[in-house]
Amino acid sequence: MTADASLLAQAREWQVLLHSGCATAADHLAAKTWRERSPAHEQAAREVDRLWALLGQVQQPATVQPIAAQAQRPTRRRRALRWSVPLASAALLLLALWLPQGVWLGWYADVATAPGEVRTLELDDGSILTLNGATALDWTLREGRREVRLYRGEVDLQVAKDASRPFIVEAGAARIRVTGTRFDVDYDGRDVVLAVTEGQVQASDATDQPLPVGANQQVRWSGDHLQAVQPLDARQQLAWQRGKLVFRAQPLSEVFAALERSQRQRVIFLDDSVRELKVTGVFAHDDPQAVLRAIESALPVRLVRLPGLLLVSRA
């Protein structure tokens, strides 16, 4: 029987810490105490121990044979060479499974949602934050200032009006300043999209020159640079708030990035040529499998499903 997913995640975190070179004697004692807390904890620890050991075996270099031995066994050497690539790939897959999406962010963010989870949070000033799946952020409320730092994901902010305390949102290179309005911030770790549904906000990048963005407008930060203001496509950009996923000729890479917010599977492209294949459709936010079925039936791709992992290649 497989251990509980949350206990496995905790066991992985203990294993990473204990092998990081930074663990103290107290850390080792705490890990031992955690492991002995219950049979379920011990089972999770044993499963992670086995995965860690397997990872070490896969990554070990092959033993160098003497020249004479190589000459006597050319067939075995060719087989070993053929297996070198699959073993390297296996190591990469194990690493992908070992560190699930967002595990590090969950350690220090004030609040983090799991893939598929949507959570609403009310701050002490009356502002309401609604977090999409796989989102992590910090907030700070103090005299003269209100701040949110978005590390990843997407959040809808209904900011309570308070002219004496500006509300600042930072995400990557994006900086957004308001005193009271409603807007959505989407950060995929590279680009940021701001969608304003009410009022007006001030957007800026590293140049710190504010650009006003009003209701029914959106703007993107591409890398470190703020782009031109565009009309808001609320039907697509804010579809998650209505429980939908809307794609309009979007590259497969962007589609899978969106799906990682609604399912726990990590996605690895084994063939980069399929990344730019286009997807169009409207799907339920809580039914990512429907998107996968549509992709398999409409596009020349092959999807291989493994526990916690999805491999994408050309059919």
Q: For the chain, how many structural domains are there in total?
A: 3
Residue 22's pLDDT is 64
pLDDT, tens digit, for every residue of 270-300? 788 899 999 999 999 989 999 999 999 999 9
Percent of the chain scoring above 70 in pLDDT: 77
Same domain membership, residue 113 and residue 208 = yes
Q: What is the CATH number of the domain that holds 214?
A: 2.60.120.1440
| 110 and 218 within one domain | yes
**184, 80: one domain:** no
Residues spanned by the domain of 220: 106-235
Whether residue 132 contacts residue 118, with contact meaning beta carbons closer than 8 Å, is answered with yes
- Cα–Cα distances in Å, from 120 out to 135, 158, 170? 12, 11, 19
Share of the chain above pLDDT 90, in %: 47
Q: Kindly tell me if the per-residue pLDDT of 67 is higher than 50.
A: no
Quick one: 116 and 197 in the same domain? yes
Q: What pLDDT score does 174 carry?
A: 94
Overall average pLDDT of the 208-213 stretch: 89
Kindly state whether residues 254 and 231 are assigned to the same domain: no
Looking at the fold, whether 140 and 211 belong to one and the same domain comes out as yes
Separation CA 7–CA 27 (nearest Å): 18
Query: Is residue 85 over pLDDT 80?
Result: no
Band of residue 157 on the pLDDT scale cut at 50, 70, 90? very high
Query: Are residues 35 and 64 both part of a single domain?
Result: yes
Over its C-alpha atoms, the chain yields an Rg (Å, rounded) of 24
pTM of model > 0.85: no
Same domain, 28 and 139: no
